[in-house]
A and B are shown apart, each in its own frame.
Chain A
């Protein structure tokens, strides 16, 4: 028994000793972790494999492409940006483990673009990002809680909150479908609950509300029951507020049952490329309404989209250009703007201060004002509403983006007069 314990002991100490040898001896440095005079290291953990990976796994590639483009043109303030990518499979435990590796082993300067509410929350709490002062840039979740600067002082979200989105949809319903019967399909967790709050504030009264359990949209038959329920209640317009696979399942089954109300697709599930890849006929999608805060990926007249397309072709092996690519490049673009604004004496503190202080002057593709300030860490603050055309592209109504803005509280929804800053030459900093 003693012998066994001793063996266990030896194993344990050997493992830990081996572990400690892996540690690179950190040289004494005046600069903060992850930066030198010529480089900046950022890290992202995101589902690259697993059920949540299709679509989202394209985001890091898009970010890298834009960083490479900037690096090839001299970097930001003379620094070149590298991005370390880790796969968290959309599992919070793994996300924390990977974020730990990023910070303590890869020694990144800041995190960028973590995805999912549960993962982002776990990372922020467990790693004590705020106590350590580690910036977590442009997290990919619309959970309104991250706007709370007191709880998450170093985290910045880029998406408008689900609540804002619901309020904007509510305003649109009120303006265009007053007195009509409205239906809703939503995910039965925070994603949906946040939205329900927003709809309530907007005073939307649903004739039928259909919740679904996250993941159940892939179970044979489930989406079929949504449509029979909708058919029974016969609403004139139906809001689909779910993830892509659920939106696709709802539309696919509606097509099969020849059920065609007016559809309004939430931004999370409204990526036309993903929907048509999931066999939703573009012709069936045509005429539906959709929301976005960035210009449509098909809008090559937009200078940002044109530049992103160009970067995508040269630095991203011309991956199919969709919302995910636009989202990745938008985050990367904003990060570069923030790093530039923080100046040559870059520190974690100065980066956060720069975003809080001068985000209004940051060039960026978003068509809504950025809400970053010393009191709020929410990025985009609204949406424009458009119509899917016969090829499945979301196009602004009347050929021009009408942007609605609001907040995650009780504020009204108003048409924005915001004019975004002009894109710097070639989309490069400096």
Chain B
């Protein structure tokens, strides 16, 4: 009985971590129709900035917003310098379907190499601002620690704020419009390029938060090839696809579903089925709904 409760808690807290990255993927997809694999690199880089701030000031609470700002700045710079050129040069022909993905993979490699050059290949860590030891319930310890609760709340907060921006503000409307149809948006007077840059920097900030939270959580460590980050990227993307790439709520739902299914399969079926379970879950969801859980219309075209 108690094991069941903890399995649910593990699923939810793990899901909240995937959703941080999933949200960032969705933000970029919504603003520029690009699957951004460089997201992990951007998150890593901003977390390294946060790490340096902690090193200098000793304060996680100073480092977190700075890492998010740094993430936003890096993302904006990439969009300005790089993605605009890319869209200009390779918007036609067969390459258009694959070039942006490949380009962001290239960026990911570039950022990793740069990090490796400046910070070396060894693990570094960030101390948690909250305790990682679980709350107690009677004589039991829950699989929920203050740090994990903080991550959970941060995800809820991020989702709410971002959803509000997207649904209730003119900026959000412009974001949605320019992703949906850049030409018409331009005619309507929307500064599409600027709006896209803004979408990227939102994603950059979300990625920065993801990196700072994930690294401070439990055994999280930081290195250019951090296993956690590459898995965060893969699982975040899988979660976003499960949820439907266009929806923030979908990303969070997809991540929670992935987290819960994994926790239950690992606990009650087999300990080594992680990757297979993720693949099968994705396949099953997409077979039923080819556009993810929350898809606005069937047969979406990229």
Contacts and interface: CB of A to CB of B under 8 A. Distances in A.
Chains A and B touch (C-beta atoms under 8 A apart)? yes
Interface residues of A, number: 42
Contacts of A410: none
Interface string A268-296: 00000000011110000000000000000
Contacts of A248: 219
Interface of A: 48-51, 53-54, 57, 188, 210-213, 215-226, 228-229, 231-232, 245, 248-249, 252-253, 255-259, 277-280
Contact of B273 (A49, A50, A213, A220): A213
B274 A222 contact: yes
A215 B225 CA distance: 13
A183 to B, nearest CB: 12
Given A188-B272, A218-B228, A278-B219, A228 B14 contact: no
B121 A228 contact: no
Contacts of B15: 221
A256 to B, nearest CB: 5
B274 A219 contact: yes
Contacts of A228: 3, 6-7, 10, 143, 267
A184 to B, nearest CB: 11
Contact of B227 (A224, A245, A279): A245
A225 B219 contact: no
Interface string B225-251: 111101110010000000000000000
Given A221-B263, A228-B267, A51 B227 contact: yes
A208 to B, nearest CB: 10
B197 interface: no
Contacts of B65: none
A157 to B, nearest CB: 26
B47 to A, nearest CB: 15
B224 A221 contact: no
A213 B227 CA distance: 14
Interface centre among A215, A245, A257, A277 (most CB of B within 10 A): A257
Contacts of B132: 252, 255-256
Interface size bracket, B side: 35 or more
Contacts of B214: 220
A332 to B, nearest CB: 21
A221 B259 CA distance: 8
Nearest to B230: A51
B134 interface: yes
B123 interface: yes
B235 to A, nearest CB: 6
Nearest to A187: B272
Given A54-B122, A231-B3, A49 B218 contact: no
A279 B266 contact: no
Contacts of A49: 116, 121, 224-225
Nearest to B234: A219
B106 interface: no
Contact of A258 (B121, B141, B223): B141
Interface centre among A49, A188, A228, A255 (most CB of B within 10 A): A228
Contacts of A221: 10-11, 13-15, 17, 259, 262-263, 266
A211 B271 contact: yes
Interface centre among A54, A188, A224, A249 (most CB of B within 10 A): A224
B134 A258 contact: yes
B266 A222 contact: yes
